[in-house]
Chain A
């Protein structure tokens, strides 16, 4: 495939992914597979895109103090273990099985994106700006919402870690970020506010991708020329997508992306 086409594919998929807040690999990997690339070759390129997005988006999330690093480290032990195991066994799984896994993953992402809810944790008027941030020795914290401060506590950690392991396994085998599992699991199951869950997930998907890419690098499975083009496209797409995000209603974007993911899943199975 021409490097310019890689740049274009990564820019478009990451742009759309950044608009919807799910990253680009969930679209990029199926697109690469549909061009005839085996999943085992497309997966490392998907993770290259994930790592690029995680690094590029970090300064913005850190500025608003919505990343909970302690929660990220804790959940990432499970996700990284899953990703490493996934990356180690991915080469042993038949391509057709990985295609079905990818199609199932796309459908799951479509459902998870379409189900995302609004505000659950309520602001606490007694708190001021000095309360914003994570708490020492615990997974709880507080984040700013407009002029108010919203405290939160993490619940059902064990069940959450189970979903993080699953997200890691999917990332290691299929090359997608697993963010579409991690963010809803943190938000819906562990009761972390969506804003904190999404920002913390952006921090952790970089670690998951890094762990799996380290294994792929040792196995010699990263096409360095294609990876370079994917990085350029992913960075461009992430910046453009984030810029347009404010102009389009999130519900419209998420509905559009869900429809697109369902279409991708159908094409993957039929093609």
Chain B
């Protein structure tokens, strides 16, 4: 069997907890605060919500590459490229 990866989640856990609390707090505050501040708070929560899973992928690519596992770091790059392509196509279709 191949070597065991040291991708244990030790670094991901604390910041994912912090992000969960931040997203919940920003959303709850955005619901009770009126006007433009509400839009800013809810918009920030949405940005965090959308980018966090993608940042996790970036982190995994980095850790996997550091282990010398080029095959799976390339798979991660292909995955992010698929997301970027989707956003690009939707921008082109909108414009």
Contact = CB atoms under 8 A, between A and B. Distances in A.
Contacts of B64: 69-70, 73
Contacts, number: 191
Interface residues of B, number: 58
* Interface of B (DSSP majority class): helix
Given A3-B31, A73-B75, A211-B86, A231 B9 contact: no
A211 B12 contact: no
Interface string A212-240: 01110111001011011101100100000
A80 to B, nearest CB: 5
B4 A133 contact: yes
A209 interface: yes
Interface in B65-93: 67-69, 71-72, 75-76, 78-79, 82-83, 85-87, 89-91, 93
Interface centre among B19, B23, B53, B56 (most CB of A within 10 A): B53
A214 B69 contact: no
Interface residues of A, number: 62
Interface in A95-154: 130-138, 140, 142, 151
Nearest to A207: B53
A74 B39 CA distance: 36
Contacts of A138: 2
A163 B35 CA distance: 44
A65 interface: yes
B90 A218 contact: yes
A140 B89 CA distance: 35
B8 A133 contact: yes
Contact of B75 (A48, A63, A74, A229): A74
Given A52-B49, A207-B57, 15 more contacts: A55-B52, A73-B57, A77-B79, A81-B82, A135-B3, A135-B4, A207-B79, A210-B54, A214-B87, A222-B46, A224-B39, A227-B45, A228-B27, A228-B30, A229-B31
7 contacts: A62-B9, A63-B13, A74-B75, A76-B79, A85-B86, A136-B3, A229-B31
Interface of A: 3, 7, 48, 51-52, 54-56, 58-59, 61-63, 65, 67, 69-70, 72-74, 76-77, 80-81, 83-85, 87-88, 130-138, 140, 142, 151, 203, 206-207, 209-211, 213-215, 217-219, 222, 224-225, 227-229, 231-232, 235
